[in-house]
Structure 1
Amino acid sequence: MDVLNSEDNSNYEDYYNAEGLEEYGLCKKTHLKEFSNVFLPIFYSITCALSIIANLTLLILFIKYKILRKVLPLHMVISDFIFTLSLPFWAVYASSEWIFGDQSCKAITLVYMVSLYSSNLFVASQSLQRFMDIVCVVSTIRIFNSPKRNTIMCILVWLLSVLAAVVHVNFVETQKVHEQNICTFNFHNKVGWKIYVRFQMNILGFVIPFSVLLFCSIRLPCVSVVRNTFQMFKYEVGFTVMFLLLWFPYSVVIFLHALQDLHIFYTCSTNIHLDFAIQVTECIAFMHVFINPLLYIFLNKKVWKRLRNASKTPREYLLEECNSSSNMSSQDDAIELRSVQQYQAHDLSFCAERPNNLLPEPM
């Protein structure tokens, strides 16, 4: 549910309503409502199931293998899990109306916005953390050690996300429109706050995280001195490109809605197209809840190796270990044989050159 697109009733209604007001009459949105009533519940349900599977898999790996347990990725998983908890409520809302009460409207909106902001910021924080680790190694700077710095970053991300979400919750309430309860914004004719909320979403939810990801993906290979520079570059570029694909369309549509709020353009057809666009781009953006953990698993060699080993049966694992051990043993035998042969050859040549090798050399 895109609470950002829920409009003040004094202007026009959100895309869950059948019709909205325009300057010269009613703007019919019947087809848009019918589409959202069918498509959104199905999409939210599928996304919720995929997110639970992906995040639970990564969380189990973190719990099982201590070597994989890192603070920022762990908090990213927690944030995506929290976001996933809000999806069933939005699925029910999209299919009919808001049936959970006014306090639940505020609570679910708070959960939704905090996890949305924090998930994107944690993705960017991981890139920033790797960049700072490399810079500290190269320049021998030790302002904070890595665990302490990561803990501070986590606290700042959660605090900033909560403060940003409070602005949303302050204006969200339940209203009755066309005999249906809706969970929507009510800005009380304060257009400035409506514009602020949209630009806050764009800047904090997209511009800042993407700027950090882009900077780190460009600069990290330049300052890296470790051997797996290509692996780190692939990791950074993978998250940067995926973040752009998921969130850029949604941010553009939110920006266009802000222009509509300023009455730069406002026609019935434009309003309908933007409402349809916000649904589609919102669904694309929501896919981050299962794409983030999957991308982390596939791009992180350590995590991917542990997952492959965990998915094997005990017999397959033992056979692989035996094969690897036999290969190592045969390699060791070959190395030892070559060493003996080289030693014997060296010993024979030495004896041929010095036939009286048992006698001490003259001084």
Structure 2
Amino acid sequence: MMYCSEVFELLLVLKTFEGSSFILIFILSIIGNCLLLYVLFLYEKLKNVTNIFVLNLACSDLMITVTLPFWAVDRLQDWVLGHFACTFVIVTEIVGFYSSAILLTAMTVDRFITVVLHNMPRNKVRRQRFAALSCAAAWTISISVSIHVATRVTVEDWGGRSMCLSNVDFAFTLTVSVIFFFLLSIIVFCYSAILKTVLQASNRRKRRTVVVVLCIVAAFIICWVPYNIIYIIVSFYKPNSCYARHCVIIAFSICRVLASSHCCMNPILYMLSEKWRKHLLDLFSCKKVRRVRDRKRTTGSCVKQNVAFKAQSSAVVLEPTCS
């Protein structure tokens, strides 16, 4: 059994690991999500239902990402940024987390309807409207939750260290935890039905989506479920001994790093798709730039030909069509 001094040394090492992990996740997430957004705007149609969800999920991940440098400084030193920055960081993190969970659930329901209930009459406008309303609801609910938490944010001295904390009540913690696991049950149910339908299909191309689907669900469960479980335990359980108290802190720190890492996983998982890999290869090979340049050159040559033809003949004007 460790004594308190030994546990304290372990905590120092763990906080260094946690701060370094936040910096690494921040770099990977900024690169991955910005690249995802760039490819999305360059190659894809933003009115597409899936792309609407991808766009909003990337924004949610970026909101969590921008808070990581602040938490890294907090772990490596103390919270020295004051109450306003503490409120901003916690509010931004909560908006990113809850909007991501709701958006992923809505995206799952849309895929469930498309894949499993494919015999039902589908309307493109209704799907787009569902996606837009789902995104609006996700941001509205997450912002409402963050406002409630913002009124309970404090900067306190804890063990000789200044810490940024959110002192929410037990009823609020229990409510948001129940909502999270309710959303998780919807995701698991829908994706189970999707996998069953896809595996029964004879189309080999559809079977390839099984890997992407499994990875998306697995990443969400692995990253967020342990964090929410330990969050409930911390709210219920108040250890008395020094050893037990620090063990809970260690578990909470590890789960928090794991949850934060989810913001850089979605871009990697989307790149498992053949379409997104092709877009990425086209981007790095500058094919899009070449096509734009060729189109401009072709358009310019068409204009020159039209001017020449019009100048040569006043009776008959030849206007060649260029694609």
Scaled by the length of structure 2, the TM-score of the pair is: 0.77
Q: Residues of 1 paired with 2:53 and 2:124: CA distance?
A: 19
**3-state DSSP class of the match of 1:173?**
strand
**3-state DSSP class of the match of 2:164?**
strand
Q: In structure 2, what residue type is equivalent to 1:253? A: I
Q: Residues of 2 paired with 1:180 and 1:89: CA distance?
A: 15
Contact 2:64 2:260 in 1 (8 A): no
Once the two structures are superposed, residues 234-263 of structure 1 have per-residue CA deviations (whole angstroms, 9 ceiling, x without a partner) of: 3322211222222232233223223314xx
Deviation at 1:105, TM superposition (A): 1.2
Q: Aligned pair in 2 of structure 1 residues 260, 178: CA closer, same or farther (>3 Å)?
A: closer
Are residue 203 (structure 1) and residue 184 (structure 2) matched?
Answer: no
Contact 1:82 1:111 in 2 (8 A): yes
Question: Could you tell me which residue of structure 1 aligns to residue 221 of structure 2?
Answer: 244
**3-state DSSP class of the match of 2:80?**
coil
Q: Residues of 2 paired with 1:34 and 1:67: CA distance?
A: 48
Are residue 255 (structure 1) and residue 229 (structure 2) matched?
Answer: no
Contact 1:120 1:209 in 2 (8 A): yes
Q: Which sections of structure 2, spanning at least 5 residues, go unmatched?
A: 292-323
Bigger shift: residues 278-287 or 251-260: 251-260
Count of matched residue positions in the alignment of Structure 1 and Structure 2: 280
Contact 1:75 1:122 in 2 (8 A): yes
Once the two structures are superposed, residues 48-79 of structure 1 have per-residue CA deviations (whole angstroms, 9 ceiling, x without a partner) of: 00001110111110111134761111000011
Question: Could you tell me which residue of structure 2 aligns to residue 86 of structure 1?
Answer: 67
**3-state DSSP class of the match of 1:240?**
helix
Scaled by the length of structure 1, the TM-score of the pair is: 0.69
Contact 1:249 1:281 in 2 (8 A): yes
Q: Residues of 2 paired with 1:141 and 1:303: CA distance?
A: 25
Contact 1:202 1:255 in 2 (8 A): yes
Q: Aligned pair in 2 of structure 1 residues 37, 136: CA closer, same or farther (>3 Å)?
A: closer
Q: Aligned pair in 2 of structure 1 residues 242, 166: CA closer, same or farther (>3 Å)?
A: same
- Alignment counterpart, residue 28 of structure 2, candidates 47, 50, 62: 50
Q: In structure 2, what residue type is equivalent to 1:112? A: E
Contact 1:43 1:283 in 2 (8 A): yes
Q: Larger C-alpha radius of gyration, 1 or 2?
A: 1
Are residue 306 (structure 1) and residue 279 (structure 2) matched?
Answer: yes
Contact 2:173 2:235 in 1 (8 A): yes
Deviation at 1:142, TM superposition (A): 5.2
Deviation at 1:178, TM superposition (A): 5.4
Once the two structures are superposed, residues 259-317 of structure 1 have per-residue CA deviations (whole angstroms, 9 ceiling, x without a partner) of: 314xxx6433221111101111111111101111110221x221121112222366xx9
Question: Could you tell me which residue of structure 2 aligns to residue 121 of structure 1?
Answer: 102
Deviation at 1:196, TM superposition (A): 3.0
Question: Could you tell me which residue of structure 2 aligns to residue 217 of structure 1?
Answer: 191
Contact 2:11 2:250 in 1 (8 A): no
Matches within 5 A, 1:1-363: 30-67=8-45, 70-134=51-115, 137-140=118-121, 145-177=126-158, 180-186=161-167, 193=169, 195-205=170-180, 207-221=181-195, 227=203, 228-261=205-238, 266-298=240-272, 300-312=273-285
Q: Residues of 2 paired with 1:177 and 1:250: CA distance?
A: 22
**3-state DSSP class of the match of 1:159?**
helix
Deviation at 1:138, TM superposition (A): 1.1
Identical amino acids, percent of aligned pairs? 20
Q: Residues of 2 paired with 1:43 and 1:234: CA distance?
A: 27
Contact 2:26 2:65 in 1 (8 A): yes
